[in-house]
Chains A and B, each alone.
Chain A
Amino acid sequence: MSETGSGLADFLYKFNFTPELAGFIGTEREQFLLVGGGLDGGQYSARAQDFLSMVNSSRWTCELSACQVESRINPQKDLSAIKLEILENENAGNQVAHKLGLRLANLEVVSRNMPFNVYPDPRYLEIAKTISQERLEAACRVAGTHIHLGIRDINHAIFVNNLLVTHTDTLCGLGDHSRGERLRLYKVMAKNWQPMIYESPEHLFEVAQADGFVDNPRNCWKLIRISIHGTVELRMFGSTDNVDEILEWVSFAKSITKEVF
C-alpha cells in the first residue's frame, strides 16, 4: 500500500461507524453555569468540575470553558424518546446545579466579563495553550446544541454530509437566537468552520490534511462534520430553553436526509 493509501486507511480507521445505529439521533447541549440571579441575571461560575463530580453520569461532560457543561443523550430514533432523554438531563442537571447553589442557563452568547478559566482536561489545556486569547475568549463565550445523525459507513457519511451542506444557511438561520453573533464568534474560534462537499473519502482525507485534522478528526470544527463517533454532526444550532425547538431542528435534519436512512 502506498504511503497515501496507508494514511487514508489510518485516517478512516479513526471513525467508528456503527451500522445498526444508522438513522439514530444524538444530541449534545452546552449550558452555562451561573451563580446568583435577580435582575442582573447572575454571574458565570467556573465550577464545571464540581458539577460533573456531583452529577456523576456518563451523559454529562466538560467543555473548554470551566463555566460550561454539556449533556448528551443515548441514540434514539423516536422524537418523543429523544425528548425524554433531554428532559431527563435537564431535570437531573437542574437539581444538581440547585444543590451547588448554581443554575444551568441556555445562553447562546455571553458577555466578555466572564471568567476564562479552562476546564482542567489535558486536551482542553493543550488547545488553550496553542490558541490566541481572542480565540479562547470566543470559544468560551458561546454555547450551542449539536445534533448527530448515526451513519453506516464513510461513503454514507459523505453522502449525508453533502445533502446537509446544501442547507447550511437555512440550518444556521433556524438555530440562531443571537442575530448571528454566536456563529460570528464560532468562526473567530474555528478557522475551518465552513462545511464542505466531499467528492470521496480521498477528498475528505485531502481536506483533513490541509485543515489539520488528519491526525485527530475532533479538530475538524466545520459546522457540519463527520465525527469520530460514526455520525454526521450539525454544530450550528444555538441554545434554547425550549426542548421542542431542539426537536424541530432534529426533524428538519431528518427531513433533509430521509431518503438515505
Chain B
Amino acid sequence: MSQQERDMLESFNVQAKDLLASKDRFIKNGHRVKVGLESELAIHAMLSNSELVQKRDAIIADNSDFTDVELGASQIEIRTPPIDLISNGGIASLKEIYEKRFASVLDSARRHEVGILRIGANPFLPTIGVPRTDKIKYHLVPDFYNQHRSSRLDTMIGLGKNRIDIGDASVVSLFQSFQVNLEADSLEDACDKMNRSLAIAPYLLAFSGNARYLNCQDTKIQDVRMMSWEISHYVKTFCDTGNWNNELRIGLPRRYFRNIVDYLQRAGTFPFILYAPESALAISIGMTWLDARVKFIGDSAIVELRLPSTQPTTEEETMLMLLYIGRLRYSQVNKEQILPINMVRENRLSAMLYGLKRPMWFLDKNEIPVKLPTKVGLARELEMAMIGLNGLGLLSALNTDLLNFMFEAGSPSDRLAKLLNSVGDISVCDMEHALLETKMLVT
C-alpha cells in the first residue's frame, strides 16, 4: 500500500468513525417519504467528440442548477430536489419538477441542435476508447481498472452472433441509469432499506431492460449495463479483510449487510485510487457501485436504487419509482423475510440477460423461496407494491395504463428489438429511426 493509500484509509476510518458517533443526527420522524430522482441522459448528433463535449457543456450551462457532467463526454445527469411524496401535493410536485427539468434540458438540446438519448446504453459510440469527460477522476479510475483487470478475462459479450468487446473500463461512459434516492429514518433503517432494495431491484429490471444494443449491434441481452460494468472492472484481488473478501465494487455484495458499520467496513476495503483525504469517505461511497447503496448527505442517510437503466420517458421512470417505493414499504411494514442473496444474484442476472423470459425466484405466501414464471411471480410482486403504495396514500399516483402497456408491449429493449430485428446490419440511420419511434431519442 502506498503512502497516499494509507493516508486515504486513515482518513476514511476517522470519517467513518465520526459519522457513526453522530448517528443520532440521521434520525428522522418517520412520517415522510422523501425522494429525489436522478437520471442520466446522453446527447446525440453526428458530430466530432470535441463538438459533442461543447454542446454537452453548453446544455449544462443552460441548466446548471440541476444538471451535472458524468464520466461519458456526451452524458448529462439531471436531478430533482428531495420531495416528501406524502406531503400535500408531494408526488405531483416531484413529477412536475422532473418533467419540467427534462423539458428544459430538451429545449437547450434543440437550441444546440442535438438529440437526447433516453436509453441505458448509447448504441452509437464505440465500446473501446469511449470518450470521457476531461476530469482527473474520470481518467484515473477507468485507467486503474484497465491496468489491473486480468488480461485473460473474456470480455466479449452477447447471446447471439454479435459478440462485442467491452474490455475497457471507460465503457461505463456509454451507460445511463435512473436512480431513486430515498431518505432513511435512521442508519439502521438505511441498512434495512438497502438490503431489501437489493432483493427488489431485479424484479424492476425484469420488465424495464433498456440497454441491448452496443456499437449498433444487437447483443440480444436485455440490459448490458451492469454486467458490462462488472466485467470491465473485474478486479478482485484487493478486497481481502476476512470479513469481506473477493468482492467487486459493483452489483451485489456476497451477503446482506448486518448494519451500517458492516457496510462502511466493506466500502473501506477497496482501493481508493483517487487522493483527497478530506473526502475519503465520500469518495469511497461514491465508488460503491452496488445495485443499491447508502449515501450520507448532510444529516440525511439516503438509500439510492441504481439498477434500472434510464427509461424512454419520465412517466415510465416515475412509475418504476412508485413501484419500488410501494414494494419496499410493503416489505418493511410486514417485516418480510428477504430472499437469500444467492437467489437474488440469479434473479439479477436472469433479468439482465433475458428479462421476463426466464423464471425467477420469489417468496411465496409463507415466505418460502419458490421459482415461478417471471410474469406470474411479478403479478404478486406488483400486488404487494400496490398494497404498499395504498398504505402511503400514493396508489392513485400509479399510472396503471402505462404499467399494463409495459407488460403488453415488453421492456424498452423488446420494443426496440421489434423494430430492428428484421434489419441485417443496423446502420446509424436505422438505429436513429428506431430510437425516435420508441421515444429513446428525442429531438
A residues lining the B interface (CB < 8 Å): 77-81, 83-84, 87-88, 90-92, 94-95, 242, 244, 247-248, 250-252, 254-255
A to B CB contacts below 8 Å, 21 in the list:
A77-B159, A78-B157, A78-B221, A79-B154, A80-B231, A80-B353, A83-B349, A84-B349, A87-B342, A87-B346, A87-B349, A88-B346, A90-B342, A91-B343, A244-B236, A244-B246, A248-B150, A248-B153, A251-B150, A252-B152, A255-B151
Max chain A C-beta neighbours (<10 A), residue from B158, B346, B350: B346
Please tell me which one of the listed residues B152, B227, B342, B361 contacts residue A251 in the complex, with CB atoms under 8 A apart: B152
The answer to whether the Cβ of B32 comes within 8 Å of any Cβ in the partner chain is no
CA distance A251 to B153 in the complex (A): 5
CA distance A259 to B163 in the complex (A): 15
A80-B349, A84-B353 known, 18 other contacts, Cβ within 8 Å: A77-B158, A77-B159, A77-B163, A78-B158, A78-B159, A78-B163, A78-B221, A78-B353, A80-B157, A80-B231, A80-B352, A83-B349, A84-B349, A91-B346, A92-B371, A242-B246, A244-B236, A247-B154
CA distance A78 to B231 in the complex (A): 11
- Residues in B with CB closer than 8 Å to A77 are 158-159, 163
CA distance A84 to B345 in the complex (A): 9
CA distance A92 to B371 in the complex (A): 9
CA distance A78 to B353 in the complex (A): 10
Question: Are B342's CB and A91's CB within 8 A?
Answer: yes
Question: Are B361's CB and A91's CB within 8 A?
Answer: yes
The answer to whether the Cβ of B369 comes within 8 Å of any Cβ in the partner chain is yes
**Main secondary structure on chain A at its contact with chain B?**
helix
**Minimum distance in angstroms from B363 CB to a CB of chain A:** 13
Which 4 pairs between the two chains have the least Cβ-Cβ distance? Answer: A87-B346, A251-B154, A84-B349, A255-B152
Who on chain A is nearest to B157 by CB? A78
Question: Are A79's CB and B346's CB within 8 A?
Answer: no
Who on chain A is nearest to B159 by CB? A78
CA distance A77 to B164 in the complex (A): 12
Proximity string of chain B (345-358) to chain A, C-beta cutoff 8 Å, 1 when within and 0 when not: 11001101100000
- Residues in A with CB closer than 8 Å to B361 are 91
Question: Are A254's CB and B154's CB within 8 A?
Answer: yes
Question: Are A255's CB and B154's CB within 8 A?
Answer: yes
CA distance A87 to B351 in the complex (A): 13
B residues lining the A interface (CB < 8 Å): 150-154, 156-159, 163, 221, 227, 231, 236, 246, 340, 342-343, 345-346, 349-350, 352-353, 361, 369, 371
CA distance A252 to B163 in the complex (A): 18
CA distance A84 to B340 in the complex (A): 16
- Residues in A with CB closer than 8 Å to B236 are 244
Please tell me which one of the listed residues A84, A94, A242, A248 contacts residue B152 in the complex, with CB atoms under 8 A apart: A248
Who on chain B is nearest to A84 by CB? B349
**Minimum distance in angstroms from B328 CB to a CB of chain A:** 23
**Minimum distance in angstroms from A82 CB to a CB of chain B:** 10
Who on chain A is nearest to B230 by CB? A80
**Minimum distance in angstroms from A248 CB to a CB of chain B:** 7
CA distance A84 to B342 in the complex (A): 11
CA distance A242 to B231 in the complex (A): 16
CA distance A254 to B246 in the complex (A): 22
**Minimum distance in angstroms from A256 CB to a CB of chain B:** 9
**Minimum distance in angstroms from B220 CB to a CB of chain A:** 9
**Minimum distance in angstroms from A3 CB to a CB of chain B:** 44
- Residues in A with CB closer than 8 Å to B157 are 78-80
- Residues in B with CB closer than 8 Å to A252 are 152
Question: Are A81's CB and B159's CB within 8 A?
Answer: yes
Question: Are B345's CB and A250's CB within 8 A?
Answer: no
- Residues in B with CB closer than 8 Å to A242 are 246
- Residues in B with CB closer than 8 Å to A250 are 154
Who on chain B is nearest to A174 by CB? B152
- Residues in A with CB closer than 8 Å to B231 are 79-80
- Residues in A with CB closer than 8 Å to B345 are 87
**Minimum distance in angstroms from B164 CB to a CB of chain A:** 10
CA distance A87 to B350 in the complex (A): 10
- Residues in A with CB closer than 8 Å to B159 are 77-78, 81
**Minimum distance in angstroms from B424 CB to a CB of chain A:** 20
**Minimum distance in angstroms from A19 CB to a CB of chain B:** 14
- Residues in B with CB closer than 8 Å to A95 are 369
CA distance A247 to B361 in the complex (A): 23
Who on chain A is nearest to B228 by CB? A80
- Residues in A with CB closer than 8 Å to B221 are 78, 80
CA distance A250 to B221 in the complex (A): 20
CA distance A110 to B163 in the complex (A): 41
**Minimum distance in angstroms from B48 CB to a CB of chain A:** 33
- Residues in B with CB closer than 8 Å to A78 are 156-159, 163, 221, 353
